[in-house]
Amino acid sequence: MNRVLISRLIDLVVVLFGVSIIVFLMIRLIPGDAVAIMLGANTEITPERMAELNRRVGLDRPIIEQYLLWAGSALRGDFGTSLWTGRPVATEIMTHLWPTLELTFLSLVIGAVLAVPVGCLMAQTRGGGADVAMRIAAIAGLTIPSFWLGIVLILLLASFAPSFASLGYVPFSEDPLGNLQRMLLPSIALALPILANLSRLVRSAMLDALGQDYIRTARAKGLSERKVVYKHALRNALIPFLTSVGIMTGYLLGGAIVVEQVFAIPGLGRLILGAIAERNYPVIQATILVVTAGFVLVNFLVDLLYIVVDPRVRA
């Protein structure tokens, strides 16, 4: 077990190192004079201002030195300051992190909670037209563009229940009800594919469980049908569920970028899209790095959980 853990940890470090190099190089490869681009359209510009900005971004140093300086301070949690607002990038990321985390968390919860009954329903209607219809619906849920769904939801709500259509974001700590009210639509827009994905997992785990010996045993012991099915089938569904959490987190982060834009939620997606438009290099770098590192960590934790849950992996 320890050996597995250590080798996974080494993998983790190597991957994070690679990620940092790619992120760093990506920004340096952007065509053209970064500084000139930063200064905006139809404004006048002096050579002094160019030089000053170059110095500030650190673009006047050799590339290896730039990387070491950047990576060194990033390890200490210092990602420099935002070019335009002069705020520490770490603070920017922190303030944008919570809305995104909440959005992904809520979508995951909504998806997972609804997936259990939907999956069971699908399992019960096994075979025949209903099954095919369910399956088609699940795939449709998986492939519906979340940004499109988001806009449609906003418009529908605006025309049918305008007073409920609250937009933007208020922190949960400030106004719990208002927060949930505002997060409801975007979470639903993001949760649909999760629901589709998970309900299929639940369905097949359910069908598996129903055919197993221990279910028959349990039934024979006189346990109620419902209890048996839920307990065993859901435990069965846990492992494939864990595997897909990693994938779903990646999907959610991507989906959040677009959905935040539509619902005016000040999350990481907005931060990075804004930073790209403004050429705010320190922010772009740090955001991609932090989000990717977070994603890698989630997958790492899933791996660990997997080891705990599934004894076979320990060997």
Partner 1 sequence: MSRLAKNKLLTFALFLVALQLILAIGAPLFAPYDPMAQSVARRLRGPTELNWLGTDQLGRDVLTRILYGYRTSLIACVLAVGIALLAGGALGLVAAYYRGWPDRIIMRVMDVLFAFPVMLLAIGIIAVLGPHTYSAAAAIAVVYTPIFARLLRGPALVLCESEYVAGAKAIGASDARIIFLHILPNLASVILVQTSLLLSAAILVEASLSFLGLGTQPPTPSLGLMLSEGRNFLQLSPWSAIFAGFAILFLSFGFNLLGDALRDTLDPRLRGQP
Partner 2 sequence: MFRSALRSAMGAGFMVAAMASASAQVLEIGADNSPTGLDPHLITAFPSFMVVNGNIYEGLTAVDKDLKVVPSLAESWAVSPDGKTYTFKLRSGVKFHDGSAMEAEDVISTIKRVQSKEIASPLASRLAAIESANAVDPQTVELKLKEPSAPLLSSLATIAIVPSSVETNKDVLQKQPVGTGPFKFQEWQSNGFILLSKNDSYWQQGLPKLTGLKFNIVPESATRQVGLTNGQYALLPNIDAATALQLKGKPGVKLSETLELAYTLVGMNVSKPPFDNAKVREAVNYAINRQEIVDAALFGAGVPGGPLSPALKSWALDVKQFPCYAHDPAKAQALLKESGVSLPITVSMNVLPRQDVKDIAQVVQEQLNRVGFKVELKNQEQGQFIQDWRNSNFDMFASINAGSPDPDEYFYRTFRTGGSTNVFKYSDTEIDQLLDSARTMQDQAARKTAYDQVQKKLACSGPVAHLTYGTLFSAMRDKLQGYDVMPNRSLMLLRSATY
Q: By CB under 8 A, name the binding residues for partner 1.
A: 11, 14-16, 18-19, 22-23, 26-27, 29-31, 126-128, 131-132, 135-136, 139-140, 142-145, 147-148, 151-152, 155, 203-204, 207-208, 249-251, 253-255, 257-258, 261, 272-273, 276, 284, 288, 291-292, 295-296, 299
> Among partner 2, partner 1, none, what does residue 177 contact (CB within 5–8 Å per kind)?
none
5, interface contact from partner 1, partner 2, none, CB < 5-8 Å by kind: none
Q: Which residue has the tokens 């605006």?
A: 158
Among partner 1, partner 2, none, the one that 62 touches (CB under a kind-dependent 5 to 8 A) is none
Q: How far apart are CA 236 and CA 230, in angstroms?
A: 10
User: Which of partner 2, partner 1, none lies near 175, with the C-beta cut-off 5 to 8 A by kind?
Assistant: partner 2
Give the DSSP per-residue string, the chain.
Answer: -HHHHHHHHHHHHHHHHHHHHHHHHHHHTSSS-HHHHHT-TT----HHHHHHHHHHHTTTS-HHHHHHHHHHHHHTT---B-TTT--BHHHHHHHHHHHHHHHHHHHHHHHHHHHHHHHHHHHHT-SHHHHHHHHHHHHHHHHS-HHHHHHHHHHHHHHH-GGG---S---TTT-HHHHHHHHHHHHHHHHHHHHHHHHHHHHHHHHHHHHSHHHHHHHHTT--HHHHIIIIIHHHHHHHHHHHHHHHHHHHHHHHHHHHHHHT--SHHHHHHHHHHHT-HHHHHHHHHHHHHHHHHHHHHHHHHHHHH-HHHH-
Structure tokens at 183: 């997060």
CB of 102 to partner 2, least distance (A): 13
Residues in contact with partner 2 by the rule CB under 8 A: 30-33, 36-46, 48-49, 52, 76-78, 82, 84-88, 90-92, 94-96, 151, 154-155, 158, 162-163, 165-171, 173-175, 261-264, 266-267, 270-271, 274, 277-280
For residue 126, the partner it binds in partner 1, partner 2, none, with Cβ less than 5 to 8 A by kind, is partner 1
* C-beta of 179 vs 292, nearer to partner 1: 292
Closest approach, Cβ 253 to partner 1, in A, equals 4
Residue 31, token pair as written in the block: 């065509």
* Residue 180 CB, nearest approach to partner 1 (Å): 26
- Residue 190 CB, shortest distance to partner 2, in Å, is 16
Residue with smaller CB distance to partner 1, 179 or 290? 290
Token pair listed for 54? 């170059």
Q: Which is nearer to partner 1, 181 or 261 (CB)?
A: 261
* CB 140 to partner 1: min, Å: 6
The one of partner 1, partner 2, none whose footprint includes residue 207, by CB under 5 to 8 A per kind, is partner 1
Q: Which does 145 bind (CB under 5 to 8 A by kind): partner 1, partner 2, none?
A: partner 1
Q: Indicate the residue among 129 and 162 with the shorter CB distance to partner 2.
A: 162
Reference 92, options 301, 310, 280, 256; nearest CA is 280
